Amino acid sequence: MNLSPLLQELISALRALPGVGPKSAQRMALHLLERDRRGALSLSVALEQAVENIGECRRCRNLSEREICAVCEDGTRDASVICVLESPVDLMAVEQTGGFNGVYFVLKGHLSPIDGIGPEELGLEQLFARVDQGNVSELILATNPTVEGEATAHYIAEQLQQSSVNITRIAHGVPVGGELEFVDGGTLAHAFAGRRSLKRSADV
Amino acid sequence: MNLSPLLQELISALRALPGVGPKSAQRMALHLLERDRRGALSLSVALEQAVENIGECRRCRNLSEREICAVCEDGTRDASVICVLESPVDLMAVEQTGGFNGVYFVLKGHLSPIDGIGPEELGLEQLFARVDQGNVSELILATNPTVEGEATAHYIAEQLQQSSVNITRIAHGVPVGGELEFVDGGTLAHAFAGRRSLKRSADV
Ligand SMILES: [Zn+2]
Ligand SMILES: [Zn+2]
C-alpha cells in the first residue's frame, strides 16, 4: 500500500498497546493526525517521561518515579499491615476501592517454576526480611484466585508458619479463576473484609 | 489515589486515543511500563515524528510527509481517474482492496452548513480546477453512503454538470448508512465495479 512511511511506522508502533490490532491502530493513527495532534504530542512526551523516570519503589516494588513510592511514604497509612499483590494493576484496583489503609508489597508475578520464576524473582526474601524486622502485624495475601496465585499465597504462608505475624487471604467475593483487576470495587472491598487466616495455629 | 504523577499523566494522555476509556488507559500504561518499555519509547518517537512531519499532499490532500504524496507521485497510476473520498481512512480502505489504480482527492469531511463546512473547506475549488485543466476522464464520487455523503456527492455532480468529465458514484455493495472504512475489501471492490454515472446526460 502507498502509505507515508512515518504513518506506517506510527500504525505499527501503536500495535505495542495491548488489545490494539491493525485496524484499531490505523484508526488511532489517523484520528490523532487528523483531529488531535496536540493529544498525540502530549502522549509522546508522557510515554518518554514515564519510561525514563518510572522505576520501582525500593520498599514495595510498586511502580514509582521516586525511590520510595507515595503509598510507602504516606505517614497516615498503617505500615504494619502489608497487602501482597501480583502486580501494580492489582494495587491500583485495591487503591480504587478506597477501603484499604495499609501498605503493599508487589510480587510482579507469581511462582511459576516452568518460567523460571521462583521466590527470588518475586522479591520474597525482601518481604520475609521485612516481616522478620517485626513491626508487621498482618500480611494480607491478595494474589489472584488462580492456581498460580493460590500456590504463591500458600508458599508464602508456609514460609512464615513459624513467625508471629498474622497471615490472611482475601476471601469470598473474588470469583475463582478471575483476576483482581477486573473485579468491581464493592466485591473487592467485600473480599478484604472477609479475609481469613491461613496459619494453621491461628484457627485453633 | 496515591499514584506516581508521571504514571497518572501517561494514563490520561492515553485517553487521547479513540475508544480508550479510563480502565483501558490504565491497563495500557501498566502493560507498557511493566512489559514493553521499548515499545513505549518507539511509540513516543513515532508519535512525535508523525506529528512533526506529516502534513497534507498539495495535490490530493491525503496525509503525506512530502509535498506530493506517494500515490500522486506514482507514475504507474492513472491520474485521469480521480476517486473523491471523505477522509484518509477511506483512502486506506480503498487502497487495501488493491483494485483501484487511479488517484485520489480527499475532502477531509462532507458538506455540513450547520458546522460551517462548505465547498471551500472541502477544497472543492482545487478539485474543480483540476477537472477544468482537462486530463481528467472520470471522477468517482466515493463519499460515504450517508445523508451528508450523498449530499456532498450530488453537490459535486451538480457543479460539474456542464463539464465533459464522467462523474460516477460507487454503487451497491456499500450498505446504506454505513461508513466506507468498515466495509470489507470484497464489498468495496464490488462497489467500485458497479459504479454508475451521476450525470443526467450520460444516461441518455
Ligand atoms: Zn512503595
Ligand atoms: Zn497526493
**pLDDT mean across residues, chain A:** 88
ipTM of the complex: 0.80
Cβ of B41 within 8 Å of Cβ of A47? The answer is: yes
Ranking A104-113, A127-136, B89-98 by mean pLDDT, the lowest is B89-98
pLDDT, residue B204, reads: 39
> Residue A124: pLDDT band by 50, 70, 90 thresholds?
very high
Nearest to B51 among A19, A41, A69 (CB): A41
Residue A97 has pLDDT above 50, yes or no: yes
Ranking A131-145, B16-30, B108-122, B172-186 by mean pLDDT, the lowest is B172-186
> Residue A195: pLDDT band by 50, 70, 90 thresholds?
confident
Which residue would you say has higher pLDDT here, A198 or B60?
A: B60
Distance CA B168, CA B141 (A): 6
Residues of A in contact with B45 (CB under 8 A): 13, 44
Cα of first residue to Cα of last residue in chain B, in angstroms, is 71
Residues of B in contact with A92 (CB under 8 A): 1, 3, 26, 30
pLDDT, residue B98, reads: 84
Residue A182 has pLDDT above 90, yes or no: no
pLDDT, residue A1, reads: 56
If you measure from the C-alpha of residue B161 to the centroid of ligand 2, how many angstroms do you get, rounded to a whole number? 25
Ranking A187-201, B75-89, B150-164 by mean pLDDT, the lowest is A187-201
If you measure from the C-alpha of residue B59 to the centroid of ligand 2, how many angstroms do you get, rounded to a whole number? 5
**Span B137-151, average pLDDT:** 89
pLDDT, residue B203, reads: 46
Of B95, B199, B200, B97, nearest to B141 (Cα)? B199
Residue A61 has pLDDT above 60, yes or no: yes
pLDDT for B119-136, tens place per residue? 999 999 999 999 999 899
Residue B172 has pLDDT above 60, yes or no: no
Ligand nearest to the Cα of A82, by number: 1
pLDDT above 70 coverage of chain B, percent: 89
If you measure from the C-alpha of residue B11 to the centroid of ligand 1, how many angstroms do you get, rounded to a whole number? 19
The domain ranges of chain A are: 5-50, 77-197
Ligand nearest to the Cα of B83, by number: 2
Q: What is the CATH T-level fold of the domain B5-50, as seen in this structure? A: Helicase, Ruva Protein; domain 3 (1.10.8)
Query: Whole-model pTM?
Result: 0.78
**Span B73-97, average pLDDT:** 92
Residue B182 has pLDDT above 90, yes or no: no
**Span A93-99, average pLDDT:** 85
Nearest to A4 among B18, B26, B54 (CB): B54
Cβ of B9 within 8 Å of Cβ of A49? The answer is: yes
pLDDT, residue A2, reads: 60
Cβ of A69 within 8 Å of Cβ of B43? The answer is: no
| Neighbour tally for A89: CB within 10 Å | 20
If you measure from the C-alpha of residue B31 to the centroid of ligand 1, how many angstroms do you get, rounded to a whole number? 19
Of B126, B138, B122, B128, nearest to B58 (Cα)? B126
**CB pairs below 8 Å between A and B: how many?**
196
> Which residue matches cell numbers 484457627?
A203
Cβ of B50 within 8 Å of Cβ of A1? The answer is: no
Q: Which of A1, A4, A15, A38 would best serve as a mutation to test chain B binding (most B beta carbons within 10 A)?
A: A4
> Residue B199: pLDDT band by 50, 70, 90 thresholds?
low
If you measure from the C-alpha of residue A120 to the centroid of ligand 1, how many angstroms do you get, rounded to a whole number? 18
Contacts (Cβ under 8 Å, ≥6 apart) of A5: B65
pLDDT, residue A145, reads: 78
Of A34, A31, A2, A9, nearest to B94 (Cα)? A2
Q: Which amino acid is at B100?
A: F
Residue B2 has pLDDT above 80, yes or no: no
**Span A158-185, average pLDDT:** 79
If you measure from the C-alpha of residue B66 to the centroid of ligand 2, how many angstroms do you get, rounded to a whole number? 9
Angle (nearest 5°) at CA B106 between A16 and B126: 145
pLDDT, residue A38, reads: 97
Q: Which of B1, B2, B24, B33 would best serve as a mutation to test chain A binding (most A beta carbons within 10 A)?
A: B2
A77-197: in CATH 3.30.70.360: no
Distance CA A166, CA A180 (A): 22
pLDDT, residue B145, reads: 78
Ranking A163-167, A190-194, B109-113, B181-185 by mean pLDDT, the lowest is A190-194
Nearest to A51 among B37, B53, B66 (CB): B37
Q: Which of A8, A9, A17, A53 would best serve as a mutation to test chain B binding (most B beta carbons within 10 A)?
A: A17
Cβ of A27 within 8 Å of Cβ of B95? The answer is: no
Residues of B in contact with A75 (CB under 8 A): none
Ranking A90-99, A159-168, B153-162, B174-183 by mean pLDDT, the lowest is B174-183
Cβ of A49 within 8 Å of Cβ of B19? The answer is: no
| Neighbour tally for B86: CB within 10 Å | 24
pLDDT above 90 coverage of chain A, percent: 72
**pLDDT mean across residues, chain B:** 88
Nearest to B16 among A7, A42, A96 (CB): A42
What does DSSP say about strands A63-64 and A55-56: parallel, antiparallel, or unpaired? antiparallel
pLDDT, residue A200, reads: 63
